[in-house]
A = this chain, B = another copy of it.
Amino acid sequence: MPRTLLERSDAVRALAGVFRRRGFESSSLSVIQQEAGIGRGSLYHFFPDGKTDMARAVLDQVSDWFEDAVFAPLRSATDAAEAVSAMTRAVADYFVSRENVCLFAAMTLGEEKETFAGEVKAYFVDWVDALAALLQRGGLTPGDAHENALDAVAMIQGGLIITRAYGDESTFLGVMERVERRLLAQLC
């Protein structure tokens, strides 16, 4: 008894939740249809190439969100300090409400890492470069700007790992606060 009710983007959102909770490899088709509440027929209707297609769609959606909510504001900002604060706020909210999991980081491990190597690299490069450019506009040398941007993104990603290990959300918020403070300190 099929029902019509699904937008593709809703499906992608549900898939993202499953992948975050269980990881890509251990989300079997049966698990996905059960946890996402989407039948196998719909899944292969929306994602004809199967699991890989689902992962690509999820990654694309995450990428779009970061482009709109993080990278673009970073690129177009005039007030560097304000932009740094806005970034840390947006990123902290995002990951806290997403189980402290970055799906791009998760894709640097496991079976599919080569499949998505390009997208994953682009995500991190975009982030680091957008932040570095902002820091440079804020007065840092190109070298210092790039190093500080890379370190900030690394600290965020590492913060997610340790937070999951500790099982304590406040750890991540603490890390994010100090990322912000360190970046602001660079802007003298």
Contact = CB atoms under 8 A, between A and B. Distances in A.
B162 A153 contact: yes
A110 B25 contact: yes
Given A121-B167, A154-B158, A106 B104 contact: no
Given A25-B25, A111-B22, A121 B165 contact: yes
Interface string A154-180: 111111011011110001001100100
A101 interface: yes
Task: Report the copy number of this chain in the oligomer.
Answer: 2
Question: Which range holds the interface residue count of chain A?
Answer: 35 or more
Nearest to A122: B165
Contact of A164 (B108, B125, B147): B108
Contacts of A158: 153-159, 161
Nearest to A31: B111
A186 interface: no
Given A104-B165, A158-B161, 15 more contacts: A23-B110, A25-B26, A105-B161, A113-B164, A117-B165, A121-B166, A123-B165, A124-B165, A150-B171, A150-B174, A151-B155, A153-B158, A154-B155, A154-B161, A157-B158
